Structure 1
Amino acid sequence: MRPTDFTSRAPGQLITLDSEGAAFVPHPLPPQLHWDGALVRLIGEAERALGELNGVGRRLPNPYLFTRPFINREAVLSSRIEGTQASLSDLYALEAQVPLFPELEVREDAQEVQNYVRALEHGLSSTLPISTRLLREMHAVLMSGVRGQNRAPGELRRSQNWIGPAGARRRDATFVPAPPGPLLEGALNDLERFIHAQNDLPPLVEIALVHYQFEALHPFLDGNGRVGRLLITLLLIQRQLLTQPLLYLSAYFERHRSAYYEHLLAVSQRGEWEAWLAFFLRGVEREAGDAALRAQRLLDLREAWRARYQQERAGSNLLAATDRLLAQPITTAGQLQHALGVVHRSAQLIVDRLLRDGVLVEVTGRQRGRVYMARPVLELLELEQVSEQRPTPGNPIQTLTEP
């Protein structure tokens, strides 16, 4: 990391570590912001998009059936930024405990993604306020039993880390966050105080500032990016900007991965807060609109299935099965039997009916141990925004540590 890249507008101080270079310690939030009409307009557009998404959320008959697919989609995309290759189908297959993994590496990736889901659910259900303690608990869940499990899950780092291309040494790093110990702990305490302080900033601006600050501190040895994105969701709910956890920015960050990292670095080096805020607010507006459309289409799909089977006077178990497929679109007859509380023959008859109607497809080609997929649900969740091209996957930015 070159000290000459940090101008007088940098919102922090450089601390010399040793001959390998310096580390950056950000000043406490909030910074002095320069408001203009364009930024105010972006705040309004993002808030309106969130309002529309909340409107869709209020129409959901069973929030769990609809929020779980969004949580899973976020888990896949957030983990993909860090280099995992697991797909949404891989995650659902792991949850359903069915052997659909072509190779061990994919299964391990899917387990990392599943941990992301569990970490988010832990944070949303916790009675703790948003705090370093809660983030440490979520980090412990995130890193449990997967790659990085030996890198102090749930503990603040005790050694220096840095950000840069894979294999880069600290002196060649793109960014070196605060050194461990009092400086890091003090900065995290300042961040926690800011989160709970009263101020006149728009809530979305607060959240964007908090996300930057957490990423700049990088308090864990591994998993910082994922925890930082989990923090966005917690703040959206805590600030009552969302009534249901339907909005996630990982899809936006992944589509614009280079710009995402460049904006964060530009804040640290040159204090370009307004450009970062504009980037963040555009992401909220676009992803809120996308989430509202996906949620509405999931609702339409459910209503189409229910209208068909109610018109044909199908039993309540068949309707319950289609509802379950929204939250778990990969299943077996045995799992449906357990979920619906019916005998195996009844579950198989339901599966056979859904196969005939094209709601399910069988994906193993076997006669025994068959696995079924609700392809319309997965296709809807995996659909990308066609107006924006996804970047070609490359080597992920890595957090590195001293040996």
Structure 2
Amino acid sequence: MGKYSDNRAGVFVRQKGGYEAFIPHPLPPPDLVFDEGLLYLLSKADGALARLDGVTQVLPNPDLFVAMYIKKEALLSSQIEGTQASLQGVLEFEAHIRPKDDINEIQEVLNYIKALHHGIEKLEFSLLTLDLINEIHRFLIHGTRGSHKLPGQLRHVQNWIGLPGGTIQDALFVPPPPEQVPELMHDLERFIQNDDKTPRLIKAALIHAQLETIHPYLDGNGRMGRLMITFYLCSKGVLARPLLYLSYYLKRYREDYYTLLNDIRYQGNWEAWLAFFLQGVIDISNNSIETAKKIILLKETLIERLLENNISGVHAVKLIDTLFDRPIITIGQVTEELRISRQSATNLVGKFENIGILEEITGKERYKQYMFVDYVRIIEEGTRI
């Protein structure tokens, strides 16, 4: 096997099959150029993240906001890989309604949520090690259509990125040979844990790109790479809550995303990727701040709507709070949550339906389910296929 070409990101090496596989150099890249434009973006990104952290403190319930945002991120990250599920489908499935969406695709979204929660919990007392990364991957893939593709195990065959039905010779990119993957992942683990002076957001961008380039698993590499951004920033205390999710941005600029990753591999152009990543942090932080403000405003206007329609009492206000936690709900659940009679729950839900807060979504005479439509519409922005 002879060397094909080399740059500061890595080296292409010709393999026995006649194709060239890329072997990345360990991070950090040498001689990163932090010009005025990149430093400006880094400063803006840090500021936007700090504002996002601040605005979430005044939400009706920050943890519920985070929980819904995790669903949105799981959905968007899965959609980048071709999943066709919707936010309503995920919520319906969780509420034990049979959704119109493909159950297998919803399972992939739910696995992403489990993987994220598992990783965040473990990082409270554990380092972000290769063992933990593999463990998270097992949560991500287990029980889905990719479950035969070795959940939690590094690949032992060559993979490639290309058009469906294409061969490795036609590939857009061929990651490193399988025998190189364990050492490359240990190099990445060392970089993650090394407390150097690289700015945290820059480091998160480098980690994501390197994992995508190594492509260490047979399935789920894109989703794992996007999870790594959140895990790294949470592990370093940059985020108090897992609130930064770039999948909305990466889905919107998918072609640029893939092109810039390949520009690292073929040209060693790390700076263009870093600028794109930081712009994403700025855009998504600002978008999340606007979403948080819309939710605060929604809470205020709903209370006003109750008063305007002469719907008063502690149970009505408590139902508003419950809906932010459970945006799809049944009469039985209202009865249980508010500790009121079924008749009182039916009357209250009827009033909420009449003034447009709730919408019946099953079309059934019995076992009806109601959706908190305004809230779901705010959260689902950008998730429609």
Instruction: Output the TM-score relative to the length of structure 2.
Output: 0.92
Pairing 1:285-296 to 2, within 5 Å after superposition? 285-296=282-293
Match of 1:344 in 2: 342
Residues of 2 paired with 1:313 and 1:332: CA distance? 19
Q: 2:172 aligns with which of 174, 178, 194?
A: 174
2:112 is matched by which residue type in structure 1? Y
Deviation of the 1:20 alpha carbon: 3.9
| Cα drift, residue 220 of structure 1 | 0.8
**Which residue pairs with 1:53 in the alignment?**
52
Displacement after TM superposition at 1:309 (Å): 4.8
Partner of 1:119: 115
Question: Partners of 2:261 and 2:380 in 1: how far apart?
Answer: 28
Question: Contact between 1:94 and 1:111, CA under 8 Å: does it hold in 2?
Answer: no
Any idea what the Cα deviations from partners look like across 1:20-49, whole Å, max 9, x if unmatched? Answer: 423211111001201210110010111111
> What is residue 76 of structure 1 aligned with on the other side?
75
Q: Which residue of 1 aligns with 2:260?
A: 263
9-18 or 213-222, which deviates more: 9-18
Contact 1:331 1:372 in 2 (8 A): yes
Quick one: percent identity of the two aligned structures? 40
Aligned 8 A contact 1:65 1:324 in 2? no
Q: Report if aligned partners of 1:96, 1:330 keep a CA contact under 8 Å in 2.
A: yes
SS of match in other structure, 2:176: coil
What CA distance in whole angstroms lies between the structure 1 residues aligned with 2:107 and 2:285? Answer: 27
Contact 2:8–2:29 (Cα < 8 Å) also in 1 = no
Instruction: Find the aligned partners of 2:266 and 2:377 in 1 and give their Cα distance.
Output: 41
Structure 1 residue runs without a partner (length 5+):
394-403
Whole-angstrom distance in 2 between the partners of 1:132 and 1:342: 50
CA distance in 2, matches of 1:295, 1:44: 22
Alpha-carbon distance in 1 for matches of 2:341, 2:29: 62
1:368 is matched with: 366
Is structure 2 residue 163 aligned with structure 1 residue 160?
A: no
Q: Using the alignment, how far apart are the partners of 1:203 and 1:294 within structure 2? A: 25
Q: Which of 209, 234, 238 is equivalent to 2:235?
A: 238
What is the aligned counterpart of 2:7 among 3, 6, 9?
A: 9
Q: How does 1:204-215 map to 2 (within 5 A)?
A: 204-215=201-212
Distance in 2 separating the partners of 1:341 and 1:187: 56
Deviation at 1:320, TM superposition (A): 3.0
C-alpha distance 145-335 of structure 1, shift in aligned 2 (>3 A): farther
Does the residue aligned with 1:361 lie in a helix, a strand or coil?
Answer: strand
Q: Give the distance between the partners of 1:343 and 1:140, measured in 2 at CA.
A: 44
3-state DSSP of counterpart to 2:84: coil
Q: Which residue of 2 aligns with 1:272?
A: 269
User: For each residue in 1:142-175, what CA deviation from the matched residue of structure 2 results, as whole angstroms up to 9, or x when unmatched?
Assistant: 1122111111111111111111111121121111
User: Secondary structure at the residue paired with 1:364?
Assistant: coil
State how far apart, in whole Å, the 2-side matches of 1:116 and 1:341 are.
34
Q: Could you say if the C-alpha distance between residues 244 and 303 of structure 1 is closer, same or farther in structure 2, counting changes exceeding 3 Å?
A: farther
- Name the CA shift for 1:310/1:188 in 2 (closer, same or farther; >3 Å): farther
Matched, 1:253 2:274: no
In 2, are the aligned partners of 1:10 and 1:269 still within 8 Å (CA)? no
Residues 204-226 of structure 1, C-alpha deviations (whole Å, 9 max, x = no match): 10100000011011111000100
Aligned partners of 2:306 and 2:312 also within 8 Å: yes
Amino acid at match of 2:279: R
Write out per-residue CA displacement over residues 271-303 of structure 1, whole angstroms, 9 at most, x where no aligned residue.
Answer: 000000000000000010000000111122123
Change over 3 Å in CA distance of 1:144–1:317 after alignment to 2? farther
CA distance in 2, matches of 1:143, 1:310: 48
CA distance in 1 between partners of 2:134 and 2:340 (Å): 41
Contact 1:158-1:180 at 8 Å conserved across structures: yes
Q: Which runs of 5+ in 2 are unaligned?
A: none
Is the 1:24–1:177 contact (alpha carbons within 8 Å) kept by the matching residues of 2? yes
Structure 1 counterpart of 2:104, one-letter code: E
Q: Distance in 1 between matches of 2:74 and 2:19?
A: 35
RMSD (CA atoms): 2.2
Letter aligned with residue 80 of structure 1: Q
C-alpha distance in structure 2 between counterparts of 1:256 and 1:142, whole Å: 24
Equivalent position to 2:137, from 133, 136, 139? 139
Q: 2:329, 2:311 → 1: CA distance?
A: 24
Structure 1 SS opposite 2:244: coil
1:304-319 to structure 2, matched below 5 A, reads 304-306=301-303, 309=306, 314-319=312-317
Tell me the SS of whatever aligns to 1:15: strand
Deviations 1:115-165 (A, max 9, x none): 111111111111332122222122111112211111111111111111111
Point out which structure has higher relative CO (alpha carbons under 8 A, 6+ apart).
1
- Alpha-carbon separation, structure 1, partners of 2:64 and 2:348: 19
In the superposition, relative to structure 1, how do residues 342 and 150 fare at CA in structure 2: closer, same or farther (>3 Å)?
Answer: farther
- Post-superposition Cα deviations, 1:85-120, rounded to whole Å, max 9, x if no partner, equal 11111111111111231x6xx222112111111111
- Give the match for residue 222 of structure 1: 219
Instruction: Find the counterpart in structure 2 of residue 93 from structure 1.
Output: 92
- Give 1:383 deviation, angstroms: 2.7
Residue type at the aligned position of 2:142: S
The residue identity in structure 2 corresponding to 1:124 is I
1:161 & 1:339 partners in 2: Cα distance? 50
* SS in structure 2 of the partner of residue 244 of structure 1: coil
Q: Out of 34-43 and 15-24, give the one that drifted further.
A: 15-24
Provide the C-alpha distance between the structure 2 equivalents of 1:339 and 1:122, rounded to a whole number of angstroms. Answer: 27
In 1, are the aligned partners of 2:8 and 2:25 still within 8 Å (CA)?
A: no
Moved more, 350-359 or 184-193: 350-359
Give the aligned length.
Answer: 380
Whether the aligned pair in 2 keeps the contact of 1:79 and 1:113 (CA below 8 Å) is yes
SS of corresponding position for 2:13: strand
